[in-house]
Amino acid sequence: YRKCDVCGTYHWPWCGDELPKVGLESLPVAAPLEEEPPHARTTNYVAGFAFNDDESRVALILKTRPDWQRGRLNGIGGHIEPGETPLVAMEREFEEETGGAADWTEFAVLRGPSGFVVHFFRGIATTPLETQTDETVVWVDPAALPENVLPNLRWLIPMARSGQGAQWPLHVTEN
């Protein structure tokens, strides 16, 4: 693994590379990493979109880290700790970052090419929300998302607003 010059995450093969067409016995042994890839520490995450009562606003967080998300808006969430279910992790992360709570429903599970898994939740905020960390919580109009949202929020937030789906959670694999 190394940091990909194309997408900025740690993985192999790198974006645009093809897998070698040789037997496993002839593959080179990888050198030790200078830094452990983020997904080697944890590969499971949660992210939630909390709406106000009439769903005219969605709470997002202005990211300061990791570097590839700095200055961008994302759903509120983080790592799933060992022994936690995705729902418990979503409740914990949301409370840590907003001081608030929401009634959560899992609506999508996204599997990424480098092995990460993100469980996405939607909910209605049941308490006031206030920034609790160095990452600012903001309310935005989900029908007019700002330019600085992470790209996949442009389809995830409308999906979350669509209400209870018959097939939720939807399982999606990114290439």
> 112-136 b/e with 16+ CB inside 10 Å = b?
bebebbbbbbbbebeeebeeeeeee
pLDDT at 9 over 60: no
pLDDT given for residue 4 in this prediction: 56
State pLDDT tens for residues 148-171: 999 999 999 999 988 666 677 888
The type of residue at 72 is: R
Q: Identify whether the C-beta of residue 66 lies closer than 8 Å to the C-beta of residue 150.
A: no
pLDDT at 164: 63
Cα distances (angstroms) measured from residue 44 to each of 23, 76, 139: 31, 14, 26
Q: Tell me if the pTM is above 0.85.
A: no
Tell me: pLDDT of 30 over 50.
no
Whole-angstrom distance, CA of residue 138 vs CA of residue 144: 14
Query: Per-residue pLDDT averaged across 73-101, rounded?
Result: 96
Averaged pLDDT for residues 103-108: 94
Q: What is the mean pLDDT of residues 9-19?
A: 47
Residue 159 or residue 2, greater confidence: 159
Dihedral over Cα of 145, 117, 70, 77: its sign: positive
Q: Which of 125, 174, 121 is nearest to 151 (CA)?
A: 174
